[in-house]
């Protein structure tokens, strides 16, 4: 990524007058999506180190849990704070600073000689993630040219790829080569810093150009309706992430127990689901731009109910088909939910993104732990039997306002 390329996507007072679809800065969107992939690859390294750290440092399981908490608390809880602050005080180069925090965290993990430094390294990676997500989501929206769903989808799919390939890179690089090999991933962080610095230049010019033109009128809703809608969206994210956690954490165990497949075959089934999630993330945004975010939420949450209800009772081939359908449909919800929430609270793009990205991340971890307890008590197949009813909460979508109708008015 060069400064010349980024400058081609720079807005000015002339481009501000064009139609929204003509001003979509795809170069910027793809750049933040690529950095999203790098960010999620690097944050996945911590979990890959756990077996090695437990043996080398003689850690107890509660100390491993504390490492996870140090990362997740900073990564989840700081996101809304960062978003709230930067909504009022734009910081074009904060993205590069966030990646620098991740860079330092990786160095800490690679060369730590005490448990305290491991905690510090995990926290620095969490801080980097907390800065990155709300600000990068803001940049994607800035570069969207009005195609908010498409921009949010392209941004999020980078994170999907990073989450998918992170464990593979850790398995082939970190596990056989040891703790110090984590430092090799500092090259990825440095690459991200360079790209995000150029994005910061674009961000600064965009902000200056935006001040030169009148702001678009925002949709104003009564405060109580906004609060109800945000609560509904949060519950829908909660529903989605519990079901997603059942797949990302336990699907391989389910496949092995129910169909007596090998570990490799179970991993391929999980890869099928993750690939479907990536596809659904890409499709959900443009579909929302065309038909409205509320329509996407109806289809992607409540619409998967017949498939989730059937999944625990069908054979192997049908399970593969349903796994793909569920992955595509449920993943299409999140870009629509984020865009919907940002429209509900105009001027708070970063705070809203921080709340929902942080909430999604935190709920995924909590849900995985709770489902693990259920699986120990009642069996892994029972997990999918009870999770099948979660999409019923999609009925709450009826309480969301019709934003497309309000926009027409």
**Which residue in this structure is represented by tokens 């999609």?**
394
In order of 88, 90, 134, 205, 220, the CA distances from 84 in angstroms are: 7, 10, 9, 21, 20
Both 181 and 280 in one domain: the answer is no
Would you list the DSSP string of 94-162?
HHHHHHHHHHHHHHHHHH--SHHHHHHHHHHHHHHHHHHHHHHHHHHHHTTTT-HHHHHHHHHHHHHHH
Q: Is residue 409 part of a domain?
A: no
Where would I find the H helices in 292-332? 293-301, 305-310, 316-331
**What pLDDT was estimated at residue 218?**
54
- What is the rounded distance in angstroms from the CA atom of residue 84 to the CA atom of residue 127? 15
Residue 216 falls inside a structural domain: no
Does residue 33 lie in a domain region? yes
Tell which of 191, 211, 231 closes a domain.
211
Q: Within 13 Å and on the Cβ side, how many CA atoms surround 282? A: 11
Same domain, 190 and 326: no
Angle at 101 between CA 197 and CA 115, to 5 degrees: 165
In a shared domain, residues 165 and 260: no
Note whether residue 147 is domain-resident.
Answer: yes
As separate numbers, helices (DSSP H) first and strands (DSSP E) second, the chain gives 18, 0
* 135 and 56 inside one domain: yes
Helix (H) or strand (E) holding 343: helix 333-344
Q: Which residues contact 211 (CB under 8 A, 6 or more apart)?
A: none
Q: Find the CATH number of the domain harbouring 265.
A: 1.20.1250.20
Residues 204 and 227 in one domain: no
Domain that holds residue 348: 223-400
Do 233 and 93 sit in the same domain of this protein? no
Buried/exposed code over 69-101 (b: 16+ C-beta within 10 A; e: otherwise): bbbbebbbebbbebbbbbbeebbbebbbbbbbb
Whole-number Å distance between alpha carbons of 251 and 324:
13
Confirm if 299 and 289 have CB atoms less than 8 A apart. Answer: no
Q: Find the largest Cα–Cα distance for the chain.
A: 64
- Which pair of structure tokens corresponds to residue 83? 């978003």
Whether residues 58 and 13 fall in one domain: yes
Q: Which of 109, 121, 115, 123 is nearest to 170 (CA)?
A: 109
pLDDT confidence of residue 19 = 37
198 and 241: one domain? no
Asked which of 180, 211, 242 is the last residue of a domain, the reply is 211
Same domain, 170 and 53: yes
> Is 407 within the bounds of a domain?
no
**Residues of the chain falling short of pLDDT 50:** 1-5, 7-22
Q: What is the pLDDT of residues 299-340, one digit of tens each?
A: 889 899 999 999 999 999 999 999 999 999 998 888 888 888
169 located within any domain: yes
Q: What is the helix (H) or strand (E) element at residue 228, kind and residue range? A: helix 223-259
Q: What is the CA radius of gyration of the chain?
A: 21
Q: Are residues 175 and 54 in the same domain?
A: yes
- Total tally of structural domains belonging to the chain: 2
Residue 408 lies in a domain: no
Are 15 and 120 members of one domain? yes
Query: How far does Cα 84 stand from its chain's mean position?
Result: 18
The predicted-structure confidence for 87-97, as pLDDT tens digits, reads as follows: 888 888 999 99
Exposure string over 13-31, b if 16+ CB within 10 A, otherwise e: eeeeeeeeeebbbbbbbbb
Neighbours of 65 (CB within 10 A): 12
pLDDT at res. 365: 67
Are residue 277 and residue 177 in the same domain, yes or no? no
Examine the fold and report which residue of 211, 243, 264 is the final residue of a domain before the chain moves on.
211
Q: Tell me if 192 is assigned to some domain.
A: yes
Q: Are 346 and 219 in contact (CB under 8 A)?
A: yes
pLDDT of residue 21: 37
């Amino acid at each position: 990524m060069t400064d010349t390329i980024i400058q081609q996507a720079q807005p000015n007072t002339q481009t501000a007058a064009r139609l929204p679809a003509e001003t979509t800065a795809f170069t910027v969107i793809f750049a933040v999506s690529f950095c999203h992939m790098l960010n999620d690859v690097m944050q996945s390294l911590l979990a890959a180190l756990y077996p090695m750290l437990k043996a080398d440092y003689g850690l107890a399981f509660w100390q491993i849990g504390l490492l996870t908490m140090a990362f997740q608390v900073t990564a989840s809880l700081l996101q809304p704070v960062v978003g709230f602050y930067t909504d009022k005080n734009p910081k074009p180069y904060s993205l590069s600073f966030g990646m620098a925090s991740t860079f330092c965290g990786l160095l800490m993990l690679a060369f730590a000689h005490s448990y305290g430094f491991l905690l510090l390294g995990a926290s620095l990676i969490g801080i980097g993630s907390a800065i990155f997500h709300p600000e990068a989501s803001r940049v994607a929206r800035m570069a969207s040219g009005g195609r908010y769903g498409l921009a949010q989808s392209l941004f999020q799919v980078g994170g999907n790829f990073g989450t998918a390939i992170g464990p593979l890179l850790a398995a082939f690089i970190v596990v056989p080569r040891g703790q110090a090999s984590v430092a090799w991933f500092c090259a990825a962080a440095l690459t991200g810093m360079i790209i995000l610095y150029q994005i910061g230049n674009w961000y600064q010019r965009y902000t200056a150009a935006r001040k030169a033109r009148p702001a678009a009128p925002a949709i104003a809703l009564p405060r109580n309706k906004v609060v109800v809608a945000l609560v509904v969206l949060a519950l829908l994210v909660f529903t989605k992430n519990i079901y997603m956690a059942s797949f990302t954490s336990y699907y391989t165990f389910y496949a092995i127990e129910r169909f007596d497949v090998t570990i490799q075959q179970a991993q391929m089934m999980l890869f099928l689901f993750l690939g479907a999630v990536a596809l659904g993330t890409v499709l959900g945004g443009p579909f929302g731009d065309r038909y409205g975010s509320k329509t996407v939420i109806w289809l992607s949450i409540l619409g998967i109910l017949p498939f989730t209800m059937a999944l625990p009772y069908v054979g192997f081939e049908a399970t593969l088909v349903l796994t793909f359908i569920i992955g595509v449909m449920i993943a299409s919800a999140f870009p629509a939910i984020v865009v919907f929430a940002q429209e509900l609270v105009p001027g708070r793009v970063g705070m809203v993104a921080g709340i929902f990205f942080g909430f999604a991340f935190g709920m995924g971890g909590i849900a995985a732990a709770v489902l693990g307890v259920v699986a120990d008590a009642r069996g892994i197949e029972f997990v999918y039997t009870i999770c099948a009813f979660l999409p019923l909460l999609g009925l709450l979508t009826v309480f969301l306002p019709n934003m497309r109708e309000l926009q027409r008015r």
